[in-house]
Structure 1
Amino acid sequence: MRSIRAAAVGAVTMSLALAASACGGGSSSGGGSNDSPKTLTYWASNQGASIEVDKKVLQPELDKFEKQTGIKVKLEVVPWSDLLNRILTATTSGQGPDILNIGNTWSASLQATGALLPWNAENFGKIGGKDRFVDSALGSTGVQGQDPAAVPLYSMSYALYYNKKMFADAGITKPPATWDELVATGKKIAKGGKWGLGAEGSNLSNNIHQIFVLGKQHGADFFTADGKPDFTSDGAVAAVKQYVDLMAADKIIAPGNAEYAQNQSLSDFVKGKTSMVLWQTASATFKSMGMKDDEYGVAPAPVASGTPGTAQATNSMVAGINISVFKNTDNLDGAAKFVKFMTSDDEQKILNKAYGSIPPVKTAQTDPAFNSPTTSVLRDTLAKSASALPQVADESQFETAVGTAVKELFADAAAGRPVTTESVKAKLTKAQQQMPKK
């Protein structure tokens, strides 16, 4: 999911479960699902450098779909800061779109509302089958054991981006593969107004993504097998402390980063103020900020052993965007045709090239564009060493509660207050107490 500002949706989600029958399609006309109204409404997420960029990318493809099917698609590109709340409002008001993009970490939370079309075998059959999609992407489409609430559209993963000139100036010949190496590299650079690593302490979703990955490396999942929050395990506490200590103890993250919000760490990286960032599929953003492809390198995000893999060698969450259908749309057949179109090999290549992401459709990944030095790292990470965030109904609240705890700990570090195992556990205990009671 790209730079999402998660919202606390506990009370809202409760009401959605009661109001799910009210949700429906948007402006299409006509009767039941067997009819074929000539208009679909589509809420797209803001994937490019701006909403205008997205319109330029998407509109030619929507025109192509209309030419093929006779169905017009009314496009609205919704900023990430508004998207989740817009979706929640739509499910209660019944004034939603027919089709929409969702951050893949929201899949289980929105699935719990009952508002989205379940992608059972019959519905997957309409778009070419479930086996067309990469397993890791399917893992972020809803609760395991239930029919998915969404279909993968764009896949992304985290990687370590490093400034080649800053590395060369410091005599560093290769990117770090372990956390110890990353800290040592950062310390060589963190002097004279330069810093080793960028972070965004006020970006709750980015906090969660980093903590989730470190949690996996420490053997923590943040939720038990039956979906109950488990934020205070030794592994969870160690993960949060390790991340915040990059500022508090290791001094490779600038104290000012504690207040950074979306994309501010990327701006510093582009300007040569920091030498490394851990980010998801950043190439298109760097380009929009004026950085040339040959000015930075891409390597797998660090793991303790230096060899990424599954379980405790996980080095990325499964990031990405899913496409969903409101199940009460007036044009279920047209919506299925649109999802089939958007996930076709040709469209997957066009759209993922435009956004610098990776197609979750296996056969589309064979295009040379997804085998460059940059994209191959992302593709391999998704295939071999990425894990889906917890697919539980309370995931959105988890992002808010724990993301805020990390934000507060970064504020402590920036102010010179001690960050200890005890203080980390206290913040995580408070976060767990804020979660909905089962």
Structure 2
Amino acid sequence: MNGTTRRQFLKPSAVTSTGLATWLALDHAPVLAQKRELTFLSWNHFVPAADDELRRQAEVFGKQANCAVRVDTMAHLQMPAKVAAEAQSQAGHDMYRSAGADPFLYEQLHVNLDDVVDKLGKQYGGWYPFAAEMNLTKSGWKGVPWFWVSFPGTYNQAHFKKAGFENPPKTWDELLRMGKVLKKQGNPVGIPISHCSDAHSTYWSVSWSFGAKVLEADGKTPAINSDKTAQVLEWYKELYLEAMEPEVLSWDDAGNNRFILSGKGSWIHNPVSPYNAALKEKMPIADDINHHNSPAGPAGAHSAPPILGIAVWKFSKNVELAKEFIQFL
């Protein structure tokens, strides 16, 4: 057997020792040994199965892109504070579910996504105008439109038929008239007048349908002090006193869901989540729940649904990977 000289042994040992020393000094494994991780912050969807599907899609993408995708979800009312904290510290997730004015509030901290929006628009037939209103800033697209939440009328058909109404309300004035009868029957209607997102969505639908507005078309001149705004407030006051109950003053965004599913409520202005919940839990009331277009007013039918997008932070180290994931979704 041939022996190994000290010189032969020391040469590879020196290389190994140098590599190990470098690894320890850097305090992390070599880049080639690390698997990329993309992190995405989203909300707790009102239909939990949607979160399961999002995580499934993230797993599929991760396998295709040879990376790990971590989807974190939290209550939607907690997200503004979390997003603000990440913006302040410039650390956190790579991307997040944006909403409302996020693309404008954090315009300088969001990655420009013009290329992604242009590609997807050409591929799938363009974008609705309101998608641009919520994501397109003066410096470009700072969010990619993801989905929007419809706010139809959700009503209990059995309660309406018992009150002598074969069809749901087509206008807000009809809702007021029907609501008075339904409340006397023991089945009030419900619109949140509280500190929650649903209260805003419904208020703007009612307000715009009556022709009221906050600003003129120039975006600068105040217009809220008007006869039409006064009509909206009087309508709300009458609906509250004669067709609703005081509980609407303390509702959160799940309050109207609980109200219609309790069997007492007759009508709410809300997405289809309570119906989906009734189906999932095999609740008999599911057979009585139906939906109709949001009511109209003298100025037509208008909606103010939540328009949600996906934004990517500039401090992310996975910008291109985040763009790929958005296109995959």
Whether TM exceeds 0.5 here: the answer is yes
Seq. identity, %? 21
Structure 1 regions of 5+ residues with no counterpart?
1-28, 31-35, 306-311, 343-438
Q: Give secondary structure in 1 for the equivalent of 2:315.
A: coil
Give the counterpart of 2:228 among 235, 243, 247.
Answer: 235
C-alpha separation in 1, matches of 2:310 and 2:279: 26
Q: How much does 1:230 deviate?
A: 4.3
| Deviation by residue 1:373-414 (Cα, 9 ceiling, x = unmatched) | xxxxxxxxxxxxxxxxxxxxxxxxxxxxxxxxxxxxxxxxxx
Q: How much does 1:77 deviate?
A: 0.5
Query: Which residue in 1 is equivalent to 2:193?
Result: 201
Query: Which residue in 2 is equivalent to 1:329?
Result: 316
C-alpha separation in 1, matches of 2:126 and 2:279: 28
Larger radius of gyration: 2
TM-score w.r.t. the length of structure 1 is: 0.61
Give the direction of change, closer, same or farther, for the CA distance of 1:260–1:165 in structure 2 (3 Å limit): same
Q: Give secondary structure in 2 for the equivalent of 1:277.
A: strand
Counting matched residue pairs gives 295
Q: How much does 1:64 deviate?
A: 0.5
C-alpha separation in 2, matches of 1:64 and 1:56: 13
Query: Which residue in 1 is equivalent to 2:101?
Result: 106
* RMSD of aligned alpha carbons: 2.7
C-alpha separation in 2, matches of 1:126 and 1:256: 47
Q: Give secondary structure in 1 for the equivalent of 2:152.
A: strand
Q: How much does 1:322 deviate?
A: 1.0
| Amino acid paired to 1:262 | D
Q: Give secondary structure in 1 for the equivalent of 2:247.
A: helix
Q: In the alignment, is the contact (CA less than 8 A) between 1:160 and 1:300 conserved in 2?
A: yes
| Deviation by residue 1:7-47 (Cα, 9 ceiling, x = unmatched) | xxxxxxxxxxxxxxxxxxxxxx97xxxxx972111001111
Query: Which residue in 2 is equivalent to 1:61?
Result: 57
Q: In the alignment, is the contact (CA less than 8 A) between 1:116 and 1:325 conserved in 2?
A: yes
Query: Which residue in 2 is equivalent to 1:302?
Result: 295
Q: In the alignment, is the contact (CA less than 8 A) between 1:270 and 1:291 conserved in 2?
A: no
TM-score w.r.t. the length of structure 2 is: 0.79
Q: In the alignment, is the contact (CA less than 8 A) between 2:154 and 2:271 conserved in 1?
A: no
Query: Which residue in 1 is equivalent to 2:179?
Result: 186
C-alpha separation in 1, matches of 2:164 and 2:35: 63
Q: Give secondary structure in 2 for the equivalent of 1:161.
A: strand
Q: How much does 1:175 deviate?
A: 1.0
| Amino acid paired to 1:234 | D
Q: How much does 1:76 deviate?
A: 0.7
Give the direction of change, closer, same or farther, for the CA distance of 1:66–1:142 in structure 2 (3 Å limit): closer
Structure 2 regions of 5+ residues with no counterpart?
1-29
Give the direction of change, closer, same or farther, for the CA distance of 1:149–1:243 in structure 2 (3 Å limit): farther
Q: In the alignment, is the contact (CA less than 8 A) between 2:61 and 2:325 conserved in 1?
A: yes
C-alpha separation in 2, matches of 1:129 and 1:327: 25
C-alpha separation in 2, matches of 1:264 and 1:302: 21
Query: Which residue in 1 is equivalent to 2:45?
Result: 47
Query: Which residue in 1 is equivalent to 2:302?
Result: 315
Q: How much does 1:140 deviate?
A: 4.1
2:203 is aligned with 1:211: yes
Q: Give secondary structure in 1 for the equivalent of 2:153.
A: strand
Of residues 270-279 and 197-206 in structure 1, the stretch that sits farther from structure 2 once superposed is: 197-206
| Amino acid paired to 2:327 | K
Q: How much does 1:126 deviate?
A: 5.0
Q: Give secondary structure in 2 for the equivalent of 1:280.
A: coil
| Amino acid paired to 1:253 | M
Query: Which residue in 1 is equivalent to 2:135?
Result: 142
Give the direction of change, closer, same or farther, for the CA distance of 1:148–1:232 in structure 2 (3 Å limit): farther
Query: Which residue in 1 is equivalent to 2:215?
Result: 223
Q: How much does 1:180 deviate?
A: 2.5
Query: Which residue in 2 is equivalent to 1:348?
Result: none
C-alpha separation in 1, matches of 2:232 and 2:140: 32
